[in-house]
Amino acid sequence: MNYFKTALLLAALTGFFLVAGYLMGGQTGLVIAFVAALGMNLFAYWNSDQMVLRMANAQEVGPENAPELFNIVHELTQRAGLPMPRVYLIDEEQPNAFATGRDPEHAAVAATTGLLRHLSREEVAGVMAHELAHVRHRDTLIMTVAATLSGAIGMLASFGGLMGGGRDSEGRPLVNPIVAIAAMILAPMAAMLVQMAISRGREYEADRMGAEICGQPQWLASALAKLHAGTQQLHNEAAERNPATAHMYIANPLAAAGGMSSLFSTHPPMEERIARLQAMGGQGYQSYAPSRPQPASAPGGGPWGDSAPPRGPWGNAPTAQSPRRGPWG
């Protein structure tokens, strides 16, 4: 089903490109827009995941330099019946994470260093289970393609502004100034609407399946409370430079920026997400405890690579019955 939705999205945005190209440049603009859209679609399907990871400055890690994170993801993929994805770290203090890839066999999950620093193991397991739910539902293809195409729509707006000032050999404007201004205004809005339509419903479903994968809905609920507070207080510079990727994160990374980002949120209300997870808490899911890697096979030196769990302003790690409390939840 997601393949059909992705094809529909590509077709719709290709049509948007063609119409905009014709309005801004006549037949010449139409041809340019068609060639650009064709190349963009091929690139988005095959390479958008790597492009998104580069936008986030994500670095691939393994059991040698991030043993705890890698071990949690590995055990969760076994519970979910998924292939092991590539694991990435993003050097950002804001706690957050996302998944990408065109299918489960080519998936990747990325977590910020702030996620490992500020959340307990159980909470990180809940977050990673949410991301693996996106992989299992094959949401990552359409979300990643949408990020790439939304960025391309933003470029279209700039293209319209540049063409708006050009003139032909007879001194007539190449583009109607009204059309150019409309493209500059409507293209970013179209990108935001695409992101909102794709992301909101999928987050609820990924929360539900993520809770089933990790076996403890309250772990993800506790994590979401901290992520919400963290994104309000800490900036994510990589996401702010590339806002087209915002809808991919488990929590809106632009929340700290305020302004227009709060009016066009790509995520459903965090309070509602937490309430739904808390309502799932009494349904008797099989418990899952993320085990620690053995020192012989997973030496320290990376995030959570030492012999003690991370400590911070929230104190000790929570139990399944009593999640940790602090300034972020």
* Residue ranges at the known binding site for Zn(2+): 130, 134, 203
Residue 204 CA to its chain's centroid (Å): 14
Which residue in 120, 193, 92 sits closest to 150, CA to CA? 193
> For the CA atoms of the chain, what is the radius of gyration?
21
Count, residues in the chain: 329
The dihedral over CA atoms of 305, 306, 308, 312, expressed in degrees to the nearest 10, equals -70
Of the residues 92, 122, 123, 131, which is catalytic?
131
Paired tokens of 22:
């014709």
Helix axes 139-163, 121-136, angle to 10 degrees: 80
Complete DSSP assignment for 133-151 = HHHHTTHHHHHHHHHHHHH
Nearest 5 degrees, angle CA 145-CA 259-CA 257? 70
Write the CB contacts of 12 (distance below 8 Å, at least 6 apart in sequence).
Answer: none
Helix (H/G/I), strand (E/B), else coil: 5? helix
Which has the closest alpha carbon to 210: 178, 250, 165, 266?
250
Estimate to the nearest angstrom the gap between the alpha carbon of 295 and the chain centroid: 32
Dist. CA 320–CA 10, nearest whole Å: 43
Indicate if 68 belongs to the active site. no
Residues 223/200, Cβ–Cβ less than 8 Å: no
Cα–Cα distance for residue pair 226/87, rounded to 1 Å: 22
- Give me the active site residues, please: 131
